[in-house]
Amino acid sequence: MAHVYRFGMEEEFFLADAETRNTPRKTSRGRVRAFHAAVQARMESAEREMLESQVETCTPPSDSIAETRARLIAMRADLATIGREHGLRVFAAGTHPAATWRRQSTTPAERYRGIIDDLQIVGRRSVVCGLHVHVEVPRPDARLDLQNRLMPFLPILLALSVSSPFWEGQRTGLAGYRLRAYAELPRTGLPELFADAADYDRYVRVMTASGAIADASFLWWHLRASVKYPTLELRIADSCSEIEDGLCIAALFRCLVRLLDRDPGVNAGLTGAARGFAMENLWRAERDGVRAELIDATRERAVPMAEIVEGLLARLAEDADALDCRATCERARTIVRHGTGADRQLAAYAAARAAGSSDRASLGAVVDALADETASPKPR
- The enclosing domain of 74 has a CATH number of 3.30.590.20
Q: Is residue 190 part of a domain?
A: yes
DSSP letter string, 278-300: HHHHHHHHHHHGGG-EEEETTTT
CB 139, CB 252: distance < 8 Å: no
Q: Is residue 380 part of a domain?
A: no
Name the CA dihedral angle for 24, 29, 35, 36, rounded to a multiple of 10 degrees. 110
Q: Is residue 1 part of a domain?
A: no
Nearest to 216 by CA among 195, 234, 202: 202
Helices (H), the chain: 29-42, 65-85, 110-119, 121-124, 143-150, 154-161, 178-182, 197-209, 243-262, 272-288, 305-315, 317-322, 326-329, 331-338, 341-354, 359-375
Range of the domain at 279: 7-375
Q: Quick one: pLDDT at residue 29?
A: 77
Q: Is residue 118 part of a domain?
A: yes
SS3 57: strand
SS3 52: coil
CB 190, CB 151: distance < 8 Å: yes
> Residue 41 half-sphere exposure, CB side, CA atoms within 13 Å?
7
Count the neighbouring beta carbons within 10 Å of the beta carbon of residue 227.
12
Count the neighbouring beta carbons within 10 Å of the beta carbon of residue 24.
27
**Angle ∠(314,319,323) on CA atoms, nearest 5:** 135
Instruction: Give the pLDDT confidence of 71-118 residue by residue, as tens digits.
Output: 999 999 999 999 999 999 999 999 999 988 777 777 666 777 777 788
List of residues 6+ apart from 218 with CB closer than 8 A: 187
Count the neighbouring beta carbons within 10 Å of the beta carbon of residue 20.
14
Distance separating alpha carbons of residues 234 and 30, to the nearest angstrom: 34
List of residues 6+ apart from 29 with CB closer than 8 A: 52, 105
Task: Kindly state the DSSP code that residue 60 receives in the 8-state scheme.
Answer: P
List of residues 6+ apart from 348 with CB closer than 8 A: 365, 366, 369
Give pLDDT tens digits along the chain (380 positions): 478 999 999 999 999 999 989 887 765 778 889 999 999 999 988 888 778 889 999 999 999 999 999 999 999 999 999 999 999 999 999 999 998 877 777 766 677 777 778 888 887 787 899 999 999 999 999 999 999 999 999 999 999 999 999 999 999 999 999 999 999 999 999 999 998 889 999 999 999 999 999 999 999 999 999 988 999 999 999 999 999 999 999 999 999 999 999 999 999 999 999 999 999 999 999 999 999 999 999 999 999 999 999 999 999 999 999 999 999 999 999 999 999 999 999 999 999 999 999 999 999 999 999 999 999 877 66
**Angle ∠(25,171,301) on CA atoms, nearest 5:** 135
pTM for the model stands at: 0.95
Question: Crossing angle for the helix pair 331-338 and 305-315, nearest 10 degrees?
Answer: 180
Q: Is residue 2 part of a domain?
A: no
Q: Is residue 224 part of a domain?
A: yes
Query: How far is CA 52 from its chain centroid?
Result: 19
Distance separating alpha carbons of residues 216 and 144, to the nearest angstrom: 13
Phi-psi region of 300 (alpha: psi -120 to 50; beta: other; left: phi over 0): left
Q: Is residue 319 part of a domain?
A: yes
Q: Is residue 183 part of a domain?
A: yes
The count of domains in the chain is 1
Distance separating alpha carbons of residues 30 and 194, to the nearest angstrom: 47
